[in-house]
């Protein structure tokens, strides 16, 4: 089973056709798009995905020009929104429940106070095995960046204490890798896929495809996870 997770940068804009071509080439079974916008470009993305048999689709927020999350799948699922829970930025998390696992797509705020990690921690205790993927806008200091400006590093460690494991590090160890670069050329690994430890034996691969970022389809590198 193949997953694709990708921040498509402000809804895709003029890059939508290139983004769709890349998705078609990768042919994932399930995809999570962060910075998705439910506007004209977003509607085109959803229509083209329908034509490719992604019949199960859910968006975390209907407002057209607000960055949100899309989960699209070739398999049926029950989706859950969290917008009625009273949390700030609650639309930055969406869940899709499958028979074998619970998937969370995220686009977590950058350097803003939020309690979304608390939400995710509560969810993975109640619903497991879980997979969380998307743009976390944080990582581990001195590992996923060379300095220590990340917020929420301790929350990632708390997720790990609850059985969630970094699929990329599971495969690649402490290799230096970044999914986004600043204008000054500083690298940050903002994009992650965490899987419950019960699923780790099924992880065949987890990789970034930097070519898509280098070709300016987005300013983030997409991630591919394969379970088998």
Query: Has domain 2-227 been given CATH number 3.60.10.10?
Result: yes
| Segment 38-42 mean pLDDT | 96
Summarised one tens digit per residue, pLDDT across range 73-132 is 999 999 999 988 889 999 999 999 999 999 999 999 999 999 999 999 999 999 999 999
> In the chain, what are the domain boundaries?
2-227
Q: Is the dihedral of CA 51, 15, 136, 189 positive or negative?
A: positive
Mean pLDDT, residues 143-150: 96
Residue with the two structure tokens 């394969």: 226
Return the pLDDT at 64.
86
Split at pLDDT 50, 70, 90, the class of 177 is very high
Burial 13-24 (b: 16+ CB within 10 A, else e): eebbeebbebbe
121 neighbors 92 (Cβ within 8 angstroms): no
Spatial distance between the Cα atoms of 142 and 103, rounded to a whole number of angstroms: 28
């Amino acid at each position: 089973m193949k997953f694709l997770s990708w921040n498509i940068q402000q809804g895709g804009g003029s890059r939508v056709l290139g983004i769709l071509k890349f998705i078609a080439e990768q042919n994932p079974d399930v995809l999570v798009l962060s910075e998705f916008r439910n506007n004209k470009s977003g509607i085109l993305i959803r229509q083209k995905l329908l034509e490719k048999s992604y019949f199960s689709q859910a968006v975390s927020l209907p407002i057209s020009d607000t960055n949100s999350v899309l989960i699209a799948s070739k398999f049926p699922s029950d989706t859950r929104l969290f917008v009625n829970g009273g949390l700030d930025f609650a639309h930055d998390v969406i869940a899709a429940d499958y028979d074998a696992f619970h998937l969370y797509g995220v686009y977590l705020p950058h350097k803003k106070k939020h309690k979304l990690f608390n939400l995710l921690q509560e969810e993975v205790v109640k619903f497991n095995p879980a997979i969380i993927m998307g743009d976390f806008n944080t990582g581990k200091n001195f590992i996923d960046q060379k300095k220590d400006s990340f917020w929420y590093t301790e929350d990632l460690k708390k997720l790990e204490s609850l059985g969630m494991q970094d699929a990329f590090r599971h495969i690649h160890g402490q290799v230096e890798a970044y999914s986004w670069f600043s204008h000054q050329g500083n690298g940050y690994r903002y994009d992650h896929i965490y899987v419950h430890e019960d699923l780790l034996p099924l992880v065949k691969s987890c990789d970034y495809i930097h070519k898509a970022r280098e070709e300016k389809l987005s300013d983030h590198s997409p991630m591919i996870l394969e379970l088998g």
